[in-house]
Amino acid sequence: MQHRSRLGTLGQLFVATALALPPAVHADEAELAQRLEKLSSELEAVKAELAKMKKDREQAAVVAAPVQSAQPAQTAQATKPAEAVYTNTEAAPGGAPETVITGYGEINYNRPVHATEDTQMDLRRAVIGLQHRFDAQTKFAFELEAEHAVTSAEDPGEVEVEQAFIEHRLSQPLAIRAGLMLIPTGLLNENHEPTYYYGVERNFVETAIIPTTWREGGVQVVGDVADGLTLQGGVTTGFNINKWDATSTEGKESPLGSIHQELALASAKDLSIFAAANYRGVPGLLVGGSVFTGGASQGAQGVPNMRVTLWDLHARWTPGPWDLSALYARGTISNTAAFNSTLVGNPTLVPAVFDGSYVQAAYRARFGNYGVAPFARLEFFNTGRKYEDIGPGLTPAPLPTERVITTGLNFDINQHVVVKADFQWFRQLSAANRFDLGLGWAF
């Protein structure tokens, strides 16, 4: 404000000077000398004013410098003590920003050792996210994902909104979310960044059985009900059995992955409900489970009422440098016999039961700020464990259970960048045994 008023004074001086000049052309010599003298004194005043402003600015810089720089104590000036207690923060002055940009992604290289001609390198995904806080109780979370680098009519890429929801905190332990949300199932679905899991690719159980990254549209309540116990429950959109493509093998790769809707013009006549409980009350321990169930017929003509149910149990324990985890997930689809009867002759009918489990152990060692984590994982999964009987010769035989052993290394450049390498052995599809390399980031 002081500078503004001084600038105003200067402006007036210049205006006054400009107005004073024209009459001087017609004045006599004495008057001219008088005016010149006046002008000279005014110029001196302007110079003094400028010098004062310059000095003020320099003084302001000196006061600010000790706070910003690591000046030696001898030259430092003390700040107000009562305020200084509260200056310990890594955020900008004024607190955390309202909008935070995040992102994660991974580039993977897969080399099947018995079919090297199928070797691929892929920008598996690149995700940009943001969180915007409207007020102390309300925020918005958003993630936009691009898969396989290029999306067009001729290219394999996809662009998708992975999350878009509002969270409103009703009280300290209770929050409500509405929008497109991740379903709290298993260990990966809500925490799927590459820095979070071991191995180049996400495990098979949490992709083939649990269709990570699985999201639905709806409403969810989250409550921290007791020390370390979090309960989540909600009503959302669900699966659509009418998307089942019996001519494709996609349903054998991931039954639920082939009929999920991802809130893209999702059929919503049949809604689903879910509940999840996770206990983290003991440091390093997570024990939890979830169940999701809902109709999948969506009122389609001639389609029987079918229900999809998926549940899981999981545990993770991280004593010291060890990171141990285990998970079992099981899915069922009811009334598949009537539905499959119309699909006889096609390669992929709808399974009644599909399930999978894994155990995993990793050891995290640190070298300076680098982290090295060798790991091993043993997985069993079956995407067609049981088919309902539709008659002799027509009922599909249960699929063989696949067993996959993965062992490798996560190398953490820091908390946000990871380089991975692993090898995977398949019992059934041994031709698919492969070497993987990956680069992942998350911030």
Q: Which residues bind another protein (CB under 8 A)?
A: 66-67, 69-74, 76, 78-79, 81-82, 84-91, 95-96, 100, 102, 131, 133, 136, 141, 167, 172, 175, 187, 190-191, 196, 222, 224, 227-228, 278, 280-286, 316, 318-321, 364, 366, 369, 371, 415
Cβ closest to another protein, residue 66 vs residue 233: 66
> Whose CA is closest to 315, among 296, 300, 328?
328
340: three-class secondary structure by DSSP: helix
- Report in angstroms how near the CB of residue 405 gets to another protein at its nearest: 24
Nearer to another protein, 51 or 225 (CB): 225
**Nearest-angstrom CA–CA distance, 177 and 164:** 10
User: Residue 214 Cβ, how far from another protein at the closest point, in Å?
Assistant: 16
Q: How far apart are CA 383 and CA 4, in angstroms?
A: 74
| Separation CA 204–CA 185 (nearest Å) | 14
| Beta carbon of residue 310, minimum distance to another protein (angstroms, whole number) | 20
User: Which of 74, 430 has the CB closer to another protein?
Assistant: 74
Nearer to another protein, 228 or 233 (CB): 228
Q: Is 48 helix (H, G, I), strand (E, B) or coil?
A: helix
15 or 65, CB closer to another protein? 65
Task: Phi first, then psi: give them for residue 412, nearest 5 degrees.
Answer: -90, 115
Judged by beta carbon, residue 123 or residue 231, the one nearer another protein is 231
Strand segments, DSSP code E, in 92-214 are: 99-112, 120-133, 138-147, 158-169, 174-182
Which DSSP letter does residue 209 get?
I
Q: What is the DSSP letter of 349?
A: P
Question: Looking at beta carbons only, is 87 or 305 nearer to another protein?
Answer: 87
Instruction: Report in angstroms how near the CB of residue 145 gets to another protein at its nearest.
Output: 18
For 94, the token pair is 């004024």
Residue 249 CB, nearest distance to another protein (Å)? 34
**What does the block give as tokens for 172?**
């300290």
Min. distance of Cβ 161 from another protein in angstroms? 18
Structure tokens at 223: 């409550």
Residue 335 Cβ vs another protein, minimum distance, rounded to whole Å = 36
Q: Work out the angle between the directed axes of helices 29-68 and 2-24 (0-180°, nearest 10).
A: 160
**Please, what is the minimum distance in Å from the beta carbon of residue 80 to another protein?**
9
334 within 8 A of 306, measured Cβ to Cβ: yes
Q: Are 103 and 440 a contacting pair, CB within 8 Å?
A: no
Cβ nearer to another protein, comparing 195 with 335: 195
